[in-house]
């Protein structure tokens, strides 16, 4: 089955073609980073308008690259939530209209499920069951995964997600937008032990996270004049990154042990962070846990993960042709995916 994936939940427009027999044939992503940089963050109205401009050219590019025609597509999977309402509306209306025109099924897909299953696109792919650490700009969650569509929420961020904390801390350090990657680059030249930041909820005894207090601790250091010191910004960035990755690694280990499993899957934009991967790999080697990641190019939002997720669900359920009606869910908890 040839499945078209459409992703438009925030500030990346993604289109991909996935074949259930041949694998990922082609995918293309347009990022809006340059457009939103002037505003220091994503402007929802601008994001929606840009998705409109990008979808058809990206579809044509993917079709040309794969050597396929629109008539070869057998189903369409699209992100229905969570995400920005306007951006989701653009992608869902595009997908549903194209499905009606081609007379094929369209399947709404959960954005986080796409991230969660994206490591299955890698050459070194995990078997079920496993524990998944979802770390992105908007979500930090630990899930027990027993099969496609079978997820149990173990814990999540009670306030700022890890990626959100990275971006807000980067703003405090005047690193611009997007802040997370810039902070990680700055941290490489810093000495983390010079400043001491808290490790929020490290010993809470559960699988929940909290990073807003860590961000406040950075603000306190900035107000004391750290940025005026020669190595201050780099050292503070390094300590912040150490604090976040230490908590993520410790909670992940505890979750894997609690579920009596030996596989950990890491997905989401923060999953590309070099220091996080170093920590998790060291943890895995020490405790005999296999750690799996998506390809770095598939850590951020993309159509490939949506096409793959849709294909997996279509293989488990019969999808009916729809009348073009669609419903988005900007707020859609992953543990409510089947409701």
**Mean of the per-residue pLDDT values of the chain:** 94
Give the pLDDT confidence score for residue 334 in this predicted structure.
78
Tokens of 325: 């009606």
Which residues, other chains included, contact 34 with Cβ-Cβ below 8 Å and sequence gap of 6+? none
Q: How far is the CA of 317 from the CAs of 21, 146, 190, 313, 334, in angstroms?
A: 17, 17, 51, 6, 19
Dump pLDDT digits (tens) for 278-335: 999 999 999 999 999 999 989 999 999 999 999 999 988 765 566 667 778 898 887 7
Give the pLDDT confidence score for residue 321 in this predicted structure.
62
Which residues, other chains included, contact 262 with Cβ-Cβ below 8 Å and sequence gap of 6+? 256, 288, 289, 290
Give the pLDDT confidence score for residue 339 in this predicted structure.
60
Dump pLDDT digits (tens) for 138-193: 889 999 999 999 999 999 999 999 999 999 999 999 998 888 999 999 999 999 98
Dump pLDDT digits (tens) for 201-254: 999 999 999 999 999 999 999 999 988 988 999 999 999 999 999 999 999 999
Give the pLDDT confidence score for residue 105 in this predicted structure.
93
Mean predicted confidence (pLDDT) in 80-93: 96
Any idea where the domains of the chain sit in the sequence?
Answer: 2-116+298-336, 128-293
Mean predicted confidence (pLDDT) in 105-128: 94
> Is domain 128-293 annotated with CATH 3.30.420.40?
yes
* C-alpha span between 265 and 118 (Å, rounded): 9
DSSP 111-174: HHHHHHHGGGGSSS-PPSSEEEEEESSS-EEEEEEEETTEEEEEEEBSSS-HHHHHHHHHHHTT
Judge contact between 106 and 322, C-beta under 8 A. yes
Q: Which of 302, 324, 309, 296 is nearest to 8 (CA)?
A: 302
Q: Which of 130, 123, 148 is nearest to 265 (CA)?
A: 130
DSSP 279-315: HHHHHHHHHT-EEE---GGGTSS-HHHHHHHHHHHHH
* C-alpha span between 141 and 187 (Å, rounded): 24
Give the pLDDT confidence score for residue 333 in this predicted structure.
81
Mean predicted confidence (pLDDT) in 104-113: 94
In degrees rounded to 5, what are phi and psi of residue 200?
A: -60, 130
CATH of 2-116+298-336, picked from 2.40.50.140, 3.40.50.150, 3.30.420.40, 3.20.20.70, is 3.30.420.40
Give the pLDDT confidence score for residue 326 in this predicted structure.
73
Domains 2-116+298-336 and 128-293 share a fold: yes
Mean predicted confidence (pLDDT) in 41-67: 97
Mean predicted confidence (pLDDT) in 85-93: 97
Mean predicted confidence (pLDDT) in 265-281: 95
Please check the confidence at residue 116 and state whether its pLDDT lies above 70. yes
Q: Could you tell me the pTM of the whole model?
A: 0.93
């Amino acid at each position: 089955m040839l499945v078209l994936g459409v992703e438009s939940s925030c500030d990346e427009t993604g289109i991909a073609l996935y074949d259930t027999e041949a694998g990922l044939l082609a995918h293309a992503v347009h990022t809006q980073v340059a457009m939103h940089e002037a505003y220091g963050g994503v402007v929802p109205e601008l994001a929606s308008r840009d998705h409109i401009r990008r979808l058809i050219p990206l579809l044509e590019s993917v079709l040309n690259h794969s050597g396929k025609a629109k008539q070869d597509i057998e189903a369409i999977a699209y992100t229905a939530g969570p995400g920005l309402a306007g951006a989701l509306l653009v992608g869902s209306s595009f997908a549903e209209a194209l499905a009606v025109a081609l007379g094929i099924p369209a399947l709404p897909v959960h954005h986080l499920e796409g991230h969660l299953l994206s490591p299955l696109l890698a050459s070194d792919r995990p078997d079920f069951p496993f524990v998944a650490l979802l770390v992105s700009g908007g979500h930090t969650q630990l899930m027990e995964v027993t099969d496609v569509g079978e997820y149990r929420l173990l814990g999540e961020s009670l306030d700022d997600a890890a990626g959100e904390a990275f971006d807000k801390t980067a703003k405090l350090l005047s690193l611009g937008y997007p802040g997370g990657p810039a902070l990680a680059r700055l941290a490489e030249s810093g000495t983390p032990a010079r400043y001491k930041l808290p490790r929020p909820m490290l010993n809470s005894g559960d699988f929940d996270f909290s990073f807003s207090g860590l961000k406040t601790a950075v603000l306190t250091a900035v107000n004391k004049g750290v940025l005026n010191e020669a190595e201050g910004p780099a050292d503070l960035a390094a300590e912040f990154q150490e604090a976040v990755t230490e908590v993520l690694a410790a909670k992940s280990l505890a979750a894997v042990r609690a579920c009596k499993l030996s596989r950990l899957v890491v997905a989401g934009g923060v999953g590309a962070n070099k220091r996080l991967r170093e920590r998790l790999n060291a943890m895995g080697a020490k405790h005999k846990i296999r750690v799996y990641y998506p390809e770095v190019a598939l850590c951020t939002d993309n159509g490939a993960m949506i096409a793959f997720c849709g294909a997996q669900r279509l293989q488990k359920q019969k999808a009916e042709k729809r009348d073009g009606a669609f419903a988005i869910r900007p707020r859609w908890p992953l543990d409510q995916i089947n409701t």
